[in-house]
Structure 1
Amino acid sequence: RKEIPLYRAERTVFGFDHAMVGASLLRQWNLPEPMVEAVACHHELGETKTAPRLKAVTHLANVFANSLNPSLLLYRQSLEPDAQAWEILGLESGSVDEALDDIEKEINEAISAFSLQSGAA
């Protein structure tokens, strides 16, 4: 069994992927084109001429979301973000693990602040 990212498997099987579907929905809802493009290319930054910062943030958010909930992945794939995303945002190329520690801390603090129970222990 060849392991490929989910979005590539979607393209192979369906001829499109969830990023393309999301971008199409955003376009139908008349959201700004930079948002549409950021959703469309959240797996692969590629050319970032239009709203590069928005694309980089969306890409990193995708990596972090998948890292925080790996059960959504078909298999354990590399979750390192595109180095270009860090560069676009003017950040040092950091480790996902370090950023995730900070994100998890913030999530836990927000949950505590609202007296919510987290499903994760």
Structure 2
Amino acid sequence: MKKKLHSLKTVSQMVLDTELAKLRDLTEQLAAKSDEISALRQAGRDRVDGLSHGSGDDLAFVTGQDQRYGKWLEARIREINTDIANLAAAREHQLALTRRAFGRTSALDQLAKKAHKP
């Protein structure tokens, strides 16, 4: 019985480690998408600041395409926000799986402690 319990604990820990790794990956992807939005917004602000200071090196402005650039920027941010929403939903699902794996591991640990008592 103790050997089977030990085997179950080992498998349970492996499952938990896998679920935690998936959760960490989704969390990192979310952070990267948020950083991408921040960088795009900062680039837009920098562009406006450059134009207000008379900088003539903005190719979109010089060629008359600044409105298209602004529309592209907003569309790209919307796309990334959609990605963030999808990743957040996937992360919530993964969080539930990770909690379940943690519960199983914890329960097996408690059973193992009881099995070791005389």
TM-score, length basis structure 2: 0.28
Q: 1 or 2 for the larger relative contact order (CA 8 Å, sep ≥6)?
A: 2
TM-score, length basis structure 1: 0.27
Greater per-residue helix proportion: 2
Q: Which protein has the larger Cα radius of gyration, Structure 1 or Structure 2?
A: 2
